[in-house]
Amino acid sequence: MRQIRSTLCVVIAFVLAGAARPAMAQDNDFFVYVGTYTGFKWVHHSKPYGFGESHSKGIYVSRFHAATGELSEPQLAAEVINPSFLTISPNHRFLYAVSEDPLSLGPPLDHSSYVSAFAIDPATGKLRLLNTAPASGTSTCYISMDRTGKYVFMANFGSGSVSVIRVRTDGSLGELTSFIQNVGHSVDRAIQTEPHPHWIGPSPDNRFVIVSDLGMDKVLIFRFDAETGVLSPPDPPFASV
């Protein structure tokens, strides 16, 4: 347990998601999933990039006993590179993870992040890979689902864009249905010379998608067509914050 704890503590961020009935263990236990940075090194134009060394291997799962608050020792649920954020489908049968590339502040797009779909084993909590797809941006740092579980939304922090991918009936990832490239900046030249969306999620009625953009100091609002998966700006399209 000590080795696992030290591994999870040295990663840059944690991601936890809870799964309910179909992913429930025995005696009212629940599965808790943790995404980690696994480390990533590569060279572009003779310049090294990466998150450094890590002993983590991907997504971990623990059993949470709601009656006592006890959390079991985490076990490797799926081996995947840099699963920096996770989301679970409304029916609790599938988990989706974005794998973040090491460039936190921009291009090139030839090192795009990607998103993976997994089926959850309701007995063990282990994850079975269904497929992967490009996130259509760099440093994808957040993923969520619409209220019906038919689409995943992604915030691409590095390239300043948001994207939507259709989810097939078997839980696997389908085609890209919408892509929005944010345009703008704000006052801090150290981080706000370009857009950096870092959160995306549906409204309670599933009619809108909200995006918070650190680089623009704006909360962006998009109309969401739940039939086609297409985003379009309403009027007004944003709130400055």
- Encode pLDDT of 197-228 as tens digits: 999 999 999 999 999 999 999 999 999 999 99
What are the C-alpha distances in Å from 181 to residues 39, 157, 164, 231? Answer: 28, 11, 12, 11
Q: What is the pLDDT of residue 12?
A: 28
Q: Which two tokens stand for residue 49?
A: 């990039």
Average pLDDT over residues 141-166: 96
Average pLDDT over residues 154-174: 96
pTM recorded for the entire structure: 0.84
CB 32 within 8 A of CB 18: yes
Which domain covers residue 11, as residue numbers? Answer: 2-240
Q: Which two tokens stand for residue 126?
A: 């282990």
Mean pLDDT of the chain: 84
- DSSP code for 193: S
% of the chain surpassing 90 pLDDT: 68
Residue ranges with strand state E in 68-113: 70-71, 75-79, 83-88, 94-99
Q: What is the pLDDT of residue 191?
A: 86
CB 88 within 8 A of CB 95: yes
Q: Which two tokens stand for residue 236?
A: 């007004």
CATH of the domain at 164: 2.130.10.10
CB 162 within 8 A of CB 156: yes
Residue with tokens 């864009």: 161
Higher per-residue confidence, 122 vs 9: 122
Of the candidates 87, 75, 141, 154, the one whose C-alpha atom is nearest the C-alpha of residue 117 is 87
Domain count, the chain: 1
Q: Is 222 left (phi over 0), alpha (psi -120 to 50) or beta?
A: beta
Which range is most confident: 42-46, 158-162, 189-193? 158-162
Helices (H), 78-224: none
pLDDT surpassing 60 at residue 8:
no
Q: What is the pLDDT of residue 75?
A: 97
- The residue length of the chain stands at 241
**Range in 42-46, 76-80, 126-130 the model is least confident about:** 42-46
- Encode pLDDT of 112-148 as tens digits: 789 999 999 999 999 999 999 999 998 899 999 999 9
pLDDT surpassing 50 at residue 40:
yes
